[in-house]
Structure 1
Amino acid sequence: MSDIATFARVKRPVVSTWRRRHPDFPAAVSANSGRPLFDGAQVTDWLIATGLGNAAPQELRSELALFGIIALRNRFTPWQLVETLGSLLCLRRLDGRPLADDGANASPTSPPDAEADEALWSALLRRAERIDAEDDFVLRELRAIDATAAPLARLAEDLVESAYDERGAYEWLLAARSRLGLDSLAADAVTPELRSLLTQLTDLGVRLERGESLTLADPHVRVGDLLAALLDDAEDRDRVTVLAADPDDRLTRITRRRFLLAGVSELDLDVQTGSDLEERFADPYLAGPDGPAPSSD
């Protein structure tokens, strides 16, 4: 019930009140150490149907998928969850078709079916080997894990359905980095105030409307929060080039997937592993705090 309170963005006693006053409140399906446990999908449908709580329907469905992901922390490390799910979302975008095409439409909480999971994971690996033969985005992460990760493919589909596209799903996932246990990544998160300041200062939307082509760069990109915030302000990303670098290879791959899903073309995207940013594509118009000065006013 405390999870439901978090889910619906209300105080814990409110859930007790709902359960007492509403006969149609979902019944508990089991118990854990005396605590009633509920079916997340039933609770989500009830909250949407009644309009109770303080979370929008889209947020509820995304939260339901995130709760399912968090529940798998006893089977996968936080890094495995973020890297594998991110790679699956990126594979889905690169290949242009759902993961469900390979049988991912079973419920991620259904009883394990080793044979079906093995078939699904083998099919996903074949897709990754075909679409990412040079291992720029997803191949090594998917090869590093076995068919026990098949439920993650189903959860990735749930995230996409609730967030409308792969980009929204990935942003939901990265926003939950602290809840997943990735405190080191949470420490690098950009505050809303800084995001707002940067977007106002750069005014990318207006510059793109004038027909300008822009290059953004960050020599210490981490998981790309700063540049992702700027890209949020740019509807026409066909004229945006992104240069970035970070010493941590795991972070550069997370960031590379993030910008690809944000709509930056592979040809206009260069996320390098290292401490020095090589400006191979173009002179940056806007750079991170340690990067070169803007090339125009």
Structure 2
Amino acid sequence: MPQTAAHVTAAEISRIAGVTRATVSNWRRRHEDFPTPAGGTEASPLYDLEAVRTWLRARGHTQVADAREELRTAVRLQTTDPARTAARMGFVLGLARRTPDELARLADLTDGELVAHGSDEMPTLLASLPGAVPEGKESPAADGDAVTLRALLRCVREEGGPAALSVLAERELEEDAATGVYGTPEPLARLVAGLLPAGGTRILDPACGSGALLAAAARHGATTLLGQDTVRVQAQRAAAGLRLAAPQAEVTVRIGDSLRADAFADRTVDAVLCNPPYGDRDWGHGELAYDPRWAYGVPPRAESELAWVQHCLAHLTPGGWAVLILPPATASRSSGRRVRAELVRSGAVRAVMSLPAGAAPPLHVGLQTWILQRPEPGGLERKSVLFVDLTGTTPPVASTGRTPLDWSGLTTRAHTHWAAFAADPDGFTGEPGTAGAVPVVELLDDLVDLTPARRVHFSRTDTDPAALAARADTGSRELTKAARDLAAASARTGWDEAGTSVRQWRTATASDLARGGALTLLRTVPDTKEPRRGGAFPASSRPPVLTGMDIARGTGPTGDLGDLRADAAPVVTAGDVLVRGIAGGTGPMARVADEEDAGALLGPQVHLLRPDPARMDPWFLAGFIDSENNIAGASTGSTVLHITPGRLRVPLMPLDEQRRYGEAFRRIHDLRARARHASRLAEETAALLAGGLTGGALLPPRAPADGDADGDPA
């Protein structure tokens, strides 16, 4: 079949070339050989994609756009076609199973040969992996589209198979009408999977989405992964993605509504992980009124989440575990109190943990994690339920209300409290204000409110007034010192004005500087084969991982190896410039690595620029990279903005002048660090004092007597 010419707009040309729209307009006016429009209108012309690529290559703009953006552009050039999307996911799965050398040989094929390869490989792949992509077709190029296949190949080579699957799913999800369906961030998936006891190998997720929870379960030893999702492209993405994340596991993913058409009705499993749709009033209340799954009561129409809870319990073997991510209203809505009461009375509810807002979409809601266990006939009586309130784990920043979550600390606290409670429920002492075991009999009141914050509040008997007063005095002294340090840092002078007009520089992109040897661009290479978690490092000497959150918070490395291949991650050295890979949020985008960072492995979504110290000052480089305009110009994407480091621009100036700027940027960094430290101490001290006053452990200062400056009584 002849290949259909692909057309692009001026905006898409700017993304492909890595320049602004204004630059494309300038090219059209100044260069007579710029491709003429092949369609569209005078106000919105369309250009032949291959002609544009040829023109850009002739001017050194080859592959400026990153692999994700190139694939995103190629996909958006065509109308949505679910069947073709599914076929391309199968093509990605086939590519990701190949070696780097094999992928390089594929990249050398002509367009026709690449299309033929895709058409020939799919039948073989589907035969060897039944159900690899549910309802997937055999050919990924129904229209002979080599442009998209080549973009897929580049994305798999440079970013990995999961990245390519994510981009393919984006377009379909944008047009899907599903509401209340949210993804599960990888850190939350790790936290949830870590709550399951060891030994469970058969895991089900009846609302699997992209498969994040099942992938996390596989990392904890699960060997049979079962998933179902009502959104077709999500189920297909999960099926292909899980085969990449867990190539040794048995993977079965089905398309369909788990509540109305359970694809695994005859299966029981060791554990269930689930992040179900929220607030769904059309979940099947009327038609499922007499369903045998409602062992704890028929869920009211407004309580779809309690339907999912019982659906998950019904799939467990006796004694099996389920962990669900639920909205906070599930714990307290009056319409669900009877079902909650039966869940508590039977011993099915073992723990409820509340998470900080921002842990997962919807970001403005603090979600909850429910840990449940299917009661065993004749099993032990469950006398208490664990409640953990983690909403105060990360204090808010006054200007935004949110700060990046400390996932390492959050996960450790959740796992520690749960492990202690599971080992000895009757002897669990908890942590005042954060974790506590509440007797079942106390929960079975008129409301059956399972909100952790209402169950773990401080008791007056838990507080030592003398110890609290000492902590308050220490906090006040530390805050006073921090305020003096901040004032000293902000009082430094020596800032000269530029004159009557702002200064202008010639600039070069980081890619240009790298080609000239002034710096080296490094990143963690995605692993398209089975991950070798932790590389060759023994458990006793596993190096930390530096993450984007560490850059934003200004902390040392806090990540762990997880799925990171240690042999594919650069080692950070002092003087490296670290750049967050995803734009947005609070905190700096770039910083210079210090001795505390040295030796850490570079985490995913972090770019490393290693300057040649004889040619470039690191603080100068980091300061200009961190500018808002620079980050905006190097960002690509729609909802998630990925940084393309090669597009960052750096002024060209002598090394001595670089060092002057570098010292100024270092002072600014110091000012920011002291401000963050003082702000944190202020929040902690204020909270301590307010809690002491309201809890009765502290008394207000005595007002000074009239005429007595020292406040002593006459």
Q: TM-score, normalised by structure 2?
A: 0.30
Instruction: Return closer, same or farther for 1:159/1:7 CA change in 2, 3 Å cut-off.
Output: same
Instruction: Return closer, same or farther for 1:215/1:46 CA change in 2, 3 Å cut-off.
Output: farther
Q: What residue is the counterpart of 1:53 in the other structure?
A: none
Q: What residue is the counterpart of 1:54 in the other structure?
A: none
Instruction: Return closer, same or farther for 1:150/1:117 CA change in 2, 3 Å cut-off.
Output: farther
Q: What residue is the counterpart of 2:52 in the other structure?
A: 39
Q: What residue is the counterpart of 1:283 in the other structure?
A: 270
Q: What residue is the counterpart of 1:141 in the other structure?
A: 136
Distance 1:125 1:249 in 2: 19
Number of equivalences = 259
- Aligned pairs (5 A) from 1:34-73: 34=42, 35=45, 37=47, 39-40=52-53, 43=56, 60-73=66-79
Unaligned runs of 5+ in 2: 1-9, 277-307, 314-321, 324-371, 374-417, 419-714
Distance 1:29 1:139 in 2: 42
Contact 1:218 1:244 in 2 (8 A): yes
Q: What residue is the counterpart of 2:175 in the other structure?
A: 183
Work out whether 1:173 is the aligned partner of 2:168.
yes
Unaligned runs of 5+ in 1: 50-56, 108-112
Of the structure 1 ranges 7-16 and 62-71, higher mean CA displacement relative to structure 2 is found in: 7-16
1:283 is paired with a residue of what secondary structure?
A: strand
Query: What are the Cα deviations for residues 18-48 of structure 1, in whole angstroms up to 9, with x where unaligned?
Result: x499x8x996233134537362476598568
Deviation at 1:149, TM superposition (A): 4.0
Q: What residue is the counterpart of 1:52 in the other structure?
A: none
Query: What are the Cα deviations for residues 95-141 of structure 1, in whole angstroms up to 9, with x where unaligned?
Result: 6685776788224xxxxx5xx57853553245335523xx3115963
Instruction: Return closer, same or farther for 1:142/1:237 CA change in 2, 3 Å cut-off.
Output: same
Distance 2:15 2:178 in 1: 19
Distance 2:72 2:66 in 1: 10
Quote the RMSD (CA, aligned, Å): 4.7
Distance 1:271 1:36 in 2: 40
Distance 1:89 1:96 in 2: 13
Distance 1:139 1:205 in 2: 25
Q: What residue is the counterpart of 2:91 in the other structure?
A: 88
1:141 is paired with a residue of what secondary structure?
A: coil
Contact 2:107 2:153 in 1 (8 A): no
2:66 is paired with a residue of what secondary structure?
A: helix
Aligned residue identity for 1:203: L
Q: What residue is the counterpart of 2:205 in the other structure?
A: 218
Q: What residue is the counterpart of 1:246 in the other structure?
A: 229
Work out whether 1:3 is the aligned partner of 2:6.
no
Distance 2:107 2:18 in 1: 34
Instruction: Return closer, same or farther for 1:272/1:211 CA change in 2, 3 Å cut-off.
Output: same
Of the structure 1 ranges 78-87 and 235-244, higher mean CA displacement relative to structure 2 is found in: 235-244
Greater fraction of residues in strand: 2
Distance 2:157 2:243 in 1: 19
Distance 2:237 2:108 in 1: 23
**Percent of residue pairs bearing the same amino acid type:** 17
Structure with the larger RCO, 1 or 2 (CA within 8 Å, 6+ apart): 1
- Aligned pairs (5 A) from 1:111-122: 116=113, 119-120=116-117
Instruction: Return closer, same or farther for 1:279/1:265 CA change in 2, 3 Å cut-off.
Output: farther
Aligned residue identity for 1:30: T
Aligned residue identity for 2:156: V
Distance 2:205 2:12 in 1: 38
Query: What are the Cα deviations for residues 187-232 of structure 1, in whole angstroms up to 9, with x where unaligned?
Result: 67626xxx45x84486258669x977676543233xx23x42x468
Aligned residue identity for 1:80: A
Contact 2:71 2:167 in 1 (8 A): no
Contact 1:102 1:124 in 2 (8 A): no
Distance 1:9 1:103 in 2: 22
Deviation at 1:169, TM superposition (A): 1.4
Deviation at 1:259, TM superposition (A): 1.9
Query: What are the Cα deviations for residues 58-106 of structure 1, in whole angstroms up to 9, with x where unaligned?
Result: x623222332233243xxx421331121011122345668577678822
Instruction: Return closer, same or farther for 1:271/1:117 CA change in 2, 3 Å cut-off.
Output: closer
Q: What residue is the counterpart of 1:131 in the other structure?
A: 128
Contact 1:26 1:42 in 2 (8 A): no
Distance 2:83 2:35 in 1: 29
1:184 is paired with a residue of what secondary structure?
A: coil
Instruction: Return closer, same or farther for 1:139/1:172 CA change in 2, 3 Å cut-off.
Output: closer
